[in-house]
Structure formats: C-alpha cells, structure tokens
A and B are shown apart, each in its own frame.
Chain A
Amino acid sequence: MSDNIDNIIVDTATRIFQDLCEPATINNAETGVWPKALWDALEESGLPLAWVPEALGGPGATMADGFAVLRAAGRFAVPAPLAETLMAGWLLARAGITAPAGAMTLAPVHADGHITLDREGRLSGRARRVPFARNAGHFAVLVRRGGVPAVALVADAGVAVSHQQSLSGEPRDTVSFDGVVPETVAPVELDEDVIQRLGAAVRSQQMAGALEKILEQSVQWALDRSQFGRPIAKFQAVQHNLAALAGEVAAAGAAADLAAEACTGTEIGTAEIAIAKVRAGEAAGSGAAIAHQVHGAMGFTYEHTLHHATRRLWAWREEFGNEAVWATRLGRMVAERGADQLWPFITEAS
C-alpha cells in the first residue's frame, strides 16, 4: 500500500500486533485459549469495526485503511476474527444495520450456502467452516427472505455451533441456524456471491502479509544459519530460491492491492478480485514451499514460528474460492468478451 495512505491506523494496528500477538498467544489460541488482551486492545482501538461508517456509529475508515490493517494482520498471523468482524461490519452497514460491539463473523462462507428466513421470522439452514463461529458474539448472515436477499444480525445465543479447525488451527465451525430468530433483518441489494468476493479480497490481503513475513524470516534465517563454513545465504541455490520467493511475494502484494482498490463502500470488483485470489493463492503455495526448504528441519518444528504463517497460507488460499474456482470464473469472463478484447480487459482490470 502506498505511503500516502493514512498510516496512523496501520501503525496502531501494527503496534498492537507487535505487543500482544506473540508466538505463545498464537499457539495458545490453537488450543482454544481466547487471545483476550489482543482482542480487547483491538476493540478499544475501533479497528474491528473500521468498515462501519460514521452514520452507523463506526470509525468510518476507508476500505483501503482496512485492507492495510489486514495486510499487517496477515504478517502477524493474528489468531482472532479481525478480518471476519471487519467483513461482518461491512455487510451489516450495507443493510443499514448498526454493528454491535464484540467479535463477529459472517455466514454462509460457501458458494452453495443457503440460509432462509421464513414468514415467522425464523432462520433455517446450516453453514459449514464459518471462521471463528465459536468466538463470535454475533453473526452477520446473508439470507433469503421470500427469495429476496437480506442481511440478518444474529446473536450467538441459541445458535448451535460444532467445532472444527482449519489447517492453521483456527476455528472453522459448523453453524446451525435452524429455528433461530435474528435480532434485526433488513433487505439488501447485493449479489449472492458478495461474501465470496469480499472474502476473496480479504484473504488475498492476509496472504500477501503472511508472504511478506516468510520472506523476511527466510532471508534472516539464510544469513544466520551457517553450514560448510559460511552462511547458507552465500550458496547460489539458496539465493536463487529466495529471489524466486521475493518475486512471488511481490506479485501477491501487487495483486492483493489491485483487489483492495476494487472494493469501495458499495462496489466489489469481480475481475480484480479473481486476479488477486488466483495470483496470491498460487504465491501462497509456491512461497510456503520455498520458505520451508530454506529453513530446513528447524522450520518443520512446531516450536519455530514459520508454520504460523505457512499453515495460514495453506488454509487461506482455500477459503472464499480457491485458485481453480476463481480462475474458471476469470477465464469465463475473458472468453465471453472474446480474443480481441483480451488486451483491453487486461488494461481495465489491472
């Protein structure tokens, strides 16, 4: 992100992460210990509701600010629903619903998600792999009411949650909304795949941050670790691998920025997000592989922190549509426009 963006917000976030998101915090979160100090500091700063406009009682930060914070959160492997609360706040705001305090998440997260609201105002449906569902005080749910899309604010009481984890050890729970009555419901003019699109943009940004982190770690490791009488950084094979990693990190960052720019308070640009999710997703895989290779056996241990980033990369690339899903969508967009429009498509979408 450019230097010109208001850095106070990012600086605040970064300082909180530096102080309160230590390796022990991340590991403890994996065993179910809620990172209270970290989350409380985030809530106090107003960051989780950054995308809620002032008119609805939020800080009214720009989309760009929020994405910059998410990049930092990715870098620090924040084991808390910051991204999810941001997205929930955005979704609620689109429906004119005031966001509550506390951790939130959104549902459904799968493309075939289907939560309905009946005439008695009761929800029915189930959503799987909902991030941090067990920690959420509220859910922002995209529902169909009489076939028309709406957003429902649902309190956690009465919502059945069964626990599962992602590859990174973070909660990805199955949530049953059957029989639950929302606190508020409001219609919204949004495509059904809006959660997929926003989620893809968000995960791209988080992946870009995690990739920056593993590049930093890998370079430092190569300089510190000596074998055969010299730092392994002096071996050409290692240098070339790290150069390739740097390229992937740069590409993921550029692509994530592209997606972020395509998201405004009201619009979520599909082409840019597809480009980002494919490119960042690919970089996640190839980048994690290089980082682990450079780190050798030490990087394969639980004690070393490399896996905090790499396991999240492996998890995040699969969420809100993986590379195959978004590439197919992107390919269809291009094919529909035709070969002579391929180049104009590129200049418009990048």
Chain B
Amino acid sequence: MSTSFRFDPAELPPAAEELRQEVRAFLRQEAEAGTYSPHDGKGGFSREFSRKVGARGWIGMTWPKKYGGHERSQLERYVVTEELLAAHAPTRAHSTADRQSGPVILRYGQEEVRQRILPRIAAGELCFCIGLSEPNSGSDVFAASTRATKTDGGWLVNGRKIWTSNAHQADYMIALLRTSPPTKENRRHGLTQFLVEMKTPGITTRPIINLVGGHDFNEVVFDDAFLPDSHLIGEVDMAWKQATDELAYERSGPDRWIETLAALTELVRVAGEEPSERMAEGIGRQIAHLATLRRMSLSVAGMLQAGKTPAVEAAVVKDLGTNFEQALPDKVRLLAPPPSDAQPDANDDRFEEALRYTTLIAPKLTIQGGTREVLRGIIARGLGLR
C-alpha cells in the first residue's frame, strides 16, 4: 500500500523548449519597448499587454480552435505561464480568465456564450473576476447566500460578494449564487454558477484597499441585477459537481510559489558573484525549494496533459508552494546586507522595494484561493484520514 502521492517527471517536448525561447524573446522585446518593467517584481494589470499576449496565441492555448483557442498541450501552456510569471509580466488582466473562467465556460457554459466569450478571452480582450466569497462565507464556500431568483427570461440577483480581486476592472464575473436551499443529504446543494456582466444595472463595485495600500479587493453588491437565461453555467443547484476540476487548474501552477520570487532574485543581485558563505548557503536553501516546487508543478501539468484531475496533488503543491513563498521574504531579510549610510545604488533600491513589497503581501499568500487549513484538509482526505 502506498500513501505517498506521486509526482512523476513530466518531460517537456522540444516544441515546448522552443516556445520557452519565443516567450523570453517576446519579454525582452517588450521590456526594451518599455511596455513593462522586468525589475518591478510585482506583475500588474495591462489590457494592452494582455492583447499582445493574446495576439501571440498564448491565452486559451489548450482550448478548441473553434472557440478561439489553439489546441496546444497543457505542457506548452505550462511553459508560457511560468515564463510570464517568472518575469513578473503584467498578466493580471487575462490570467483569471485564462486559468479558470474560460475553462469553466468551455466545460459547462451554453454554446452561445462559449462562442461569444471564449474567442474574446483568447484574444486578451476580456478580464474576469471570481465571485465566490461573501461576508459570511469564505472558506465555507457552499454557505454562500447571494440569491439568484428565477424570473422571466432569466434571474434576479441580490446580495453581495467580497474579496473579489479585480472586480473594478473586470468585464465579467463567474459568480456562485444560491438558487435553492441546501438539503439534509447534501449541504452543498443549491448553488449555481452564472456568468455576470459587470456593467449590468444593479451591480455596484466598491474598493477595499489592502494593507500594502493597493486596490485589488472589492465588495460587489447586487441589487436586483438581471442575468439572462443564457448566462446559466452548467446545471441549476449543481455547482458543487462543477467545482472539482477548477481546483486542479487553479491550485497547481507556478503562480502559487512565484509571487515573492523577486525578493530572492534581487538578493542574488546585491549579493554579487562571490557572496559570503552564509549568504551563499541561504540562497542555496531557497533555490533547492524553488527547483523542487517547479518540478512538482511541471509534474502536475503533465498529469493534466494525461487527462487526469490531480486535485490532491495540486493541493500538495499549493500548500508547499504558498508556505515557501510566504516564508521567503523573511529568510531573505535575514540574509540581506545591513542597512547602511552609504549611498544606495539602483540595485539596492530595487532590493529594498522587492523586500518591502513581498513582506507586506506575505500574509495573503496562504489565504487566497484556498487557505492552508482547507488545503491540508483536502490532503488529509486524500490520505484517507477523513
């Protein structure tokens, strides 16, 4: 009997390595053109950049061509994703749509919506947000209470969503809405996924500023907002069946261990070619974790390629990855040269900013997209303990 989870190696085909070089060349080009700053370390929001990425065929890569996709492999998609993320390129305008919303529509959306929406996502024209959390339901996703009530030709939505990243910039939301009460047999029954156009009358978005001083989160209030019948995704009351696939997509990628990488990169830059033994050891420790995580992410991509739904393996990578990226700024801090009265150069400034930013965002990393506690519960179930 084996309790251990397998992360078999995924071999990248030559086409994928060529693609990697293409993406790197594209990024160099864009950096030179000043479209984005490779040393920013934060990855931002840029519709223009997303359109360029879409024009290169790097959004919706695995989707059918008839919906604007490119029918490329999961491994090729993985390569593009990791290169863009490692460069901290501004992918926020399209990443959610590419990673989650698009696949959900592809799998469960109605044909009219697929044809209308998916090609535009692939072109980098559409930004999506995810309407899941509410003031009274975060980790307990299926306790959501924002209601969708059946009416003529559609549904009326009332309630509120919170912590909705990018809602203020999104064109659409995939929302989890209550269409029926839960049953005794299944407390997850009664929730339905819908496509929501953010410009719909009755939808108000209010910013929630985070402790970094940034505007990412929002509260979205629904007051008799109308959704047409065509915006129903999947079956009424059955969202709980549709959720599992999403987890493998959402939880396994490099975005779950790369968000604080800039702190390490900039440390290496200020360390110079011959760092002290202590600094070298500290850097090496983190590199060992990073390389292992990358290998595991790649392995999960390989499993997706093979048509599996490695939900537990994805949770393992996400737990390991987010714990690593959360701890990284503090480890880097203790390896950094001490503060000095000497005049800082550009590298020093960049390091200081990278450390500042990554330290401030660290707490959210084991909360967003599934808390550490929820992930460990999933893993425990996978071990047969629950």
Contact = CB atoms under 8 A, between A and B. Distances in A.
Q: Decide whether A and B assemble into one complex.
A: yes
Interface residues of B, number: 59
Contacts of A336: 273-274
Interface string B166-180: 000000000000000
Tell me which of A215, A246, A276, A336 has the highest count of chain B C-beta atoms within 10 A of its own C-beta. A246
A254 B292 contact: yes
A130 B168 CA distance: 65
Contact of A243 (B269, B281, B282, B376): B376
Given A239-B386, A336-B273, A253 B287 contact: no
Nearest to A339: B269
Contact of A254 (B87, B295, B377): B295
Nearest to B293: A251
Given A279-B292, A327-B285, A334-B287, A239 B377 contact: yes
B268 interface: yes
A350 B379 contact: no
Contacts of A211: 4
A219 B292 contact: no
A275 B287 contact: yes
B284 A326 contact: yes
Interface string A153-196: 00000000000000000000000000000000000000000000
B314 to A, nearest CB: 12
Interface stretch (A100-108, A134-142, A340-348): A340-348
A278 interface: yes
A253 B268 contact: no
A202 B380 CA distance: 30
B385 A233 contact: yes
A84 interface: no
B295 A258 contact: yes
Contacts of B269: 338-339
Contacts of B47: none
A327 B284 contact: yes
Contacts of A343: 86-87, 261, 265
B274 A254 contact: no
A339 B8 CA distance: 29
Interface residues of A, number: 58
B342 to A, nearest CB: 20
A49 B386 CA distance: 44
A278 to B, nearest CB: 4
B296 A223 contact: no
Interface string B16-35: 00001000000000000000
A331 B282 contact: yes
B299 interface: yes
Given A254-B7, A255-B292, A336-B273, A219 B316 contact: no
A66 to B, nearest CB: 17
Contacts of B287: 275, 327, 330-331, 334, 342, 345-346
A345 B385 CA distance: 39
B384 A219 contact: yes
A279 B265 contact: no
A338 B320 CA distance: 26
B373 interface: yes
A318 interface: no
A332 interface: yes
Given A274-B288, A278-B288, A343-B86, A328 B376 contact: no
Nearest to B279: A331
Given A215-B3, A219-B383, A328 B8 contact: no
Interface in B259-281: 261, 264-266, 268-269, 271-275, 277, 279-281
Given A243-B319, A261-B9, A255 B275 contact: no
B172 to A, nearest CB: 32
A331 B295 contact: no
Contact of B275 (A250, A274, A331): A331
B283 A275 contact: no
23 contacts: A3-B8, A212-B4, A216-B3, A219-B384, A219-B385, A223-B385, A246-B4, A246-B316, A250-B5, A250-B7, A250-B316, A253-B6, A253-B7, A257-B7, A274-B284, A275-B292, A279-B289, A327-B283, A330-B287, A336-B273, A339-B268, A342-B264, A343-B261
Given A240-B376, A247-B320, 14 more contacts: A219-B383, A253-B4, A253-B6, A254-B7, A257-B7, A258-B291, A258-B292, A328-B284, A335-B274, A338-B268, A342-B287, A343-B265, A345-B287, A350-B298
